[in-house]
Amino acid sequence: MTDKTNEIKYVPGMYAGRAKKRMNTAEMAGQYIREWETKRLAAIKKKELAARVNNCISFSRKIGVGALEIADLVAQRAGLRVVDREILEHIATDSDLKQTTVDFFDERHPGVMSNFGAMLFGEKSFTMGDYMRHLITSVYSIADDSPTIFVGRATHLILPRDRVLAVRFISSKEHRVKRVAGILDMGEAAAEKKLVAEDKRQSEFFKKNLKKKDASPYEFDLVINRDYITEAGWAADLVEQAYKLKFANT
């Protein structure tokens, strides 16, 4: 097995067969923008600007555990769509898309942004940056439009807690390294190096944007350890059932 450390970039969410099943990030983001605009125009016509966030699922994970593969399985079974970190990053940083989501959010959720500082950071002195503001507007706009499975970016802390099933995926480093090494067809030492870099980026996101070191297990409805729930289908079964039960009466 060759060392391809410098040849292949590991993108969180990679798994066998994914590229053939999904549109690219820009195409998916563009599709969401068109859906938002259609919904916005329909709401204006009916004079129904008030919004209600759909019931969603939020996946938080250690990089490399296979959360996106599970998300795709749940989405197929439950009729939800999947929005991963790449899509959220694209929407939150693209200048044209940022303005669209801000306009949509402000129109559909007036006054909500002002409450986020206290909700996310409590009594801590913290100034929310532009990136976090645009991330919040993106997540709300997507959740407003359709029931969604979000993967990454602490979306369980952004959405109303009674409208989200929050799931945390964990595993040993050994499990993650073996999985990434298999996906990229490389040695485990090279795979571990890539995971260390991704873990550092994830940690920096939490520290910079949420003043947190990591996600606490107490924030979630369900924590799944992939060392023991080894099959993606098993994990998908658990998540799908939990989603149905939590929102059975809503």
Confirm whether pTM is higher than 0.85. Answer: no
For the chain, which domains are there? Answer: 22-245 (3.40.50.300)
- Given a cut of 70, the residues of the chain with pLDDT beneath it are 1-23, 36, 39-41, 43-51, 111, 115-127
Q: How many CA atoms lie within 13 A of 223 on its CB side?
A: 9
Report pLDDT for 14.
59
Report pLDDT for 47.
58
What residue has token string 């023991």? 228
Report pLDDT for 36.
67
Query: Residue 57 and residue 243: Cα distance in Å, rounded?
Result: 7
Question: Long-range contacts of range 187-195, CB-CB < 8 Å, 24 or more positions apart?
Answer: 187/1, 187/2, 187/3, 189/3, 190/3, 190/4, 190/5, 191/10, 193/5, 194/5, 194/10, 195/10, 195/63, 195/64
Report pLDDT for 246.
97
Greatest alpha-carbon pair distance for the chain in Å reads 61
| Residue 66, both tokens | 């296979």
Report pLDDT for 9.
62
Tell me the one-letter amino acid at 29.
A
